[in-house]
Structure 1
Amino acid sequence: MASLLFLLLIIKTSAAENDDFFFYNGFSSEDLLLDGIAGIAPNGLLILTNTSKYMQSHAFHKRVIRFKNASDGRLNSFSTCFAFAIVSEYSDVGGHGLALVISPTRGRTGAFPVQFLGLFNSSNNGNSSNHAVAVELDTLSNVEFEDINNNHVGVDINGLRSVAAAPASYFLGENEGYDNLTLLSGKPMMVWVEYDGQDMKLNVTICPINVPKPSIPLISLSLNLSLIIYDTMYIGFSSSSGSIKTSHYVLGWSFKLNGQARRLNLITLPSLPAPIRRKSKAVHDKLYILAVVLMLVTAMGIAYVVAKRIIYAEVVEEWEVEFQHQRLSYKDLYKATKGFGKDELLGIGGFGRVYKGKLTMSTTTEIAVKRISRDLSKEMREIVSEIVSIGQLRHPNLVQLLGYCRRKGELLLVYEFMSNGSLDKFIFDDTGKKKLNWAHRFQIIKGVASALFYLHEEWEKVVIHRDIKSSNILLDDGFNAKVGDFGISRLYDHGSDPNTTNVIGTIGYIAPELSKNGRITTSTDVYAFGVFLLEVACGRRPILQEASSDVLNLVDWVSKNWKRGIILESRDVKLGNDFKSEEIELVLRLGLLCSHPLHNLRPSMRQVVQILTADGAQQLQVFMTEQEENLYGSGRICDLSAATYTSPQQSESSKLFMNS
């Protein structure tokens, strides 16, 4: 027996080190390159995700694979098979899945978890420059990727909108057809991914681990992978979790170039840990209804009322009595949005989904309902209190917050509906269907500035929005701008301290001082507004993930163009010649000023409004002169295009900026 185990170890090790094939019947720490929360159990089980929420992981074979023939550059055939299992805390819902991926790198830098499966992110999903091929085992249906259901196998090329997909099932035989599989069953399954380089055909097959490989694959499609796969690539696994605790396991894996991957030895595969599961929510509901039916056979009407109460159940605590006038019933919101149906979905953001609805009370009002599914229990009282206060805001350039509703683990915010949607869909539209000329953009900028001035100085309290960006600027029927989404806003009395150190916001708009002290101020809103100004004038996002280092950051890029005396070349090319150069230059310069890395050199929103609504160039000059005098008083001045201090004699660039 000892000799047999030693022989198996020799076979496994030598195979893993060969450039054409490898074979892992269980894993060791030397076999794979791991990142994220991936790990290997003592028995050799690869654990891609555990019970952590909103996380991702990668496990790649350490050695590069030469997928193309060195002599003629033709793509080789390849075959791989692996055993996996997915265990969720619930039997009918999990999150989100795992994928076998062929990638140019050992890992997927910059990828997002949750629905992105650790493969791509919101900016590079679908880009041909990814050169990635993946076979996904997906257990959630994502509308944005047009998933066919919440239990499917898909082939992905450079993005998560599958080029081919099928419900998880396997072929039994000619007379029996296909039998369904449940990816979330917690039972081990086998997957084969095979590519014929000559016929250019990709086959994907799946079945229970103890069943022979089916004779007909689940997915078979003609696909020229030579345009996607480089000469040498890495191969591995990627996985991510969401709001439901889910573990993704790989028990064994083999790979072969120009041949059939070796079948795994089922006897020596590592065992899975005993699953700890809660009963399905659907099962709870069915048992409850069944009990009612058995006990009260003749009381079907009562059972119907009970079921409706479950659907419309809300969370109401004693402290909410004082906020009743701002609270809306979940039943009304459910009916207004047609049960939060897919057809009413307006979009998906970082904190939840937004649905369109029609609220019928005394009159019919079009609304937008944002469902925030985050654990806010510890700070719920403070959040609701601030929501009620924000609902009292009245300004023509603010989206009206109509009220709120609470359910277990969920907060719903109800806003007035904006028919033209968010500004970013116009600024970044590459189809040419949604155009927004400079006159409209400049009017929108002034409207947003006016709203922020109102929030910072004109209302009875100071309101810091904390997430100013083009996607949170909504447009009404007349394309008037309204600042929306107050989900993470904070308010406090004038002259007091906001008393929060949570760094929340969107990357690219977060002021640099927040990463040091985490303290929010009105100046952090001004920073985000400055980035927003450049975003609108330049027609590009704050961060371009795939761009070169000299244009990666929008603020840095515009700053460099300003230094070179070509700041107008930063403008959005989609504007053509229909613009006022003095207005665009003013906005670009003001954007650089507001997004200055030193918070004390940024203007207030009062000063911004004065610059935008009066003689802009003159008002800007007045502000710059005041800043120059303040800085000269300390014996040095600050270059407003960088975060470095220089002496008065050395800072020609800062004098040029102040006098321009």
Structure 2
Amino acid sequence: MANIKLEGDAFRSGNDVLELTKNQRDGSISESEGQASYNKTVRLRDARTGKLADFTTHFSFVVNALNASSYGDGIAFFIAPFEYELPDNSFGGSLGLFNAASNSNTSLNKIVAVEFDTHNNSWDPNDNHVGINVNSIVSVATVTWKSSIRNGSTANAWISYNSTTQNLSVFLTYADNPVFGGNSSLSYKVDLTNVLPEFVRVGFSAATGQYTELHTIHSWSFNSSLEVENQVKKKNKVGLGVGLGVGFGVLSCGLGLLWFIYWRKRGDGDQNEGLGDDLFMDDEFEKGTGPRRFTYRELTHATNNFDEGGKLGEGGFGGVYKGFLSESSTEIAVKRVSKGSKQGRKEYISEVKIISRLRHRNLVQLIGWCHAQGEFLLVYECMPNGSLDTHLFGGKIMLTWPVRDKIALGLASALLYLHEEWEQCVVHRDIKSSNIMLDANFNAKLGDFGLARLVDHELGSQTTVLAGTMGYLAPECVTTGRASKESDVYSFGVVCLEIACGRKPVDPREEQSKVRLVEWVWNLYGKGQILEAVDKGLSMQFDEQQMERLMVVGLWCCHPDPIIRPSIKQVINVLNSEAPLPELPSKFPVPMYSLLPVNMCIFSDTSLGHTGSTKDPTQCSCSSCSTYL
């Protein structure tokens, strides 16, 4: 609670909740105003790189009218400059956010808020509405709030911001056991870079006027993609991890900043656990930052000795197990590479050396690694909603159109980072729906970098080993074995069509004309009937223009000629309606293409396979090539 700043009439009540305005025990509760905010700065954007954070906040609250027939005025979640304070005389319809002076000169304001308004003022559409406010008490977007104010029911709200789409969305529910599936009750497109500074304050505000009610916050969490990166390098200390979690009442013990600090000495009885001929990996991996080395004992304890009951799935080179790190109260997923698998060992090395250096909100975070007892173990953040394919094909949860749209844009954002924004180009080589994980808010996170390769930005395709998964492989990869940014874009296009159509890229059960997803959708496109391929599970509840954009972009990405395919930057521009749709041939093109211009190094590889198979990894000695094989 020490990390919460209380202003005005806000106070902490005896039952460990926050009261934002006066309650009936205080006597008169009219013309009351109060704020409760986190008293440390929250980074909204990186001024150096210009990158804006994605964030999600979830809170439960009660607005209690005490059975009165007239009540007011409401509660709001706000983001403002850190120096922002509760304005004087901001009671009533101003909700504790503005006063007469700031309302009359909105150009001076820098604040974004989501209001849960309970009183119909002259600028409001009605009483009981949810509104998104930008620099003004007058909402830029509203929706009627079907509230349960009189009986004081508990509401749950999720507010999310996607910096790629610039979409601020709100989801509100009174369900007893609420589940957030990425849906929204209200949304508005706003570039927060133009409104708010780099560092901000986040919190709640509420007010009463002539009419009154009680405003109570019961729980709160806030998560942002811009994490503070602390790089602590000491000989016998592995790392310092920092996590921000805010919560109180029924969801946690107290309100404030939770510091998860873990110290780990080298060894701890592990000296004889490792593989003698793999000790070189320790030195290589420790050069990176972020992920840390775990002991084998830690991971067997975290996974209950790799209990089959906690198995999350089975990959090509081993199983994935759910685990729990008690020292940091963190859920993890542990990938256990099959013993004796040379290809698994190769992928393990590739994954640690590549993904440990990458930082992006749409990439699965590697937490740590371990090679001991003849095994290779990778530790990831746990993705509570599993992989995309389980929802599209497994009937786990029917994904709504807004969620599917968000997933496609999130995956595109991850590829833009890999292909163009990081210091080297990363070719993933295995983009598919089963490698796209979904976090608690159904944000897409690309994982499984075991086949990924580093390539200098000016170079083209850089491997002659067939790698990937059939159905997602670009035709030139099957013919030549060469992987490139263009072949990644092809795989992305297949996933776009999967998201839109809800079916796998190849389905032998379908009639002949529908077996191959890309060709089937392309033929419908040529007939002007592309929307007939849309997943029937959506029951026509989708934006037709946006859906058509996604499907046409998917076909564009899947053009047999890699030279005609778009860059991932072009993809994002079209999906965001910032560029027109391409004109594609009415018939599926014959797969005859020109080889990409390439400064090519040939490696000696002895076997091909479904996910690739090569000799032990080495780096090419060619001065122009930085590819790892």
TM-score (norm 1): 0.45
Kindly indicate which of the two structures has a greater share of residues assigned to helix. 1
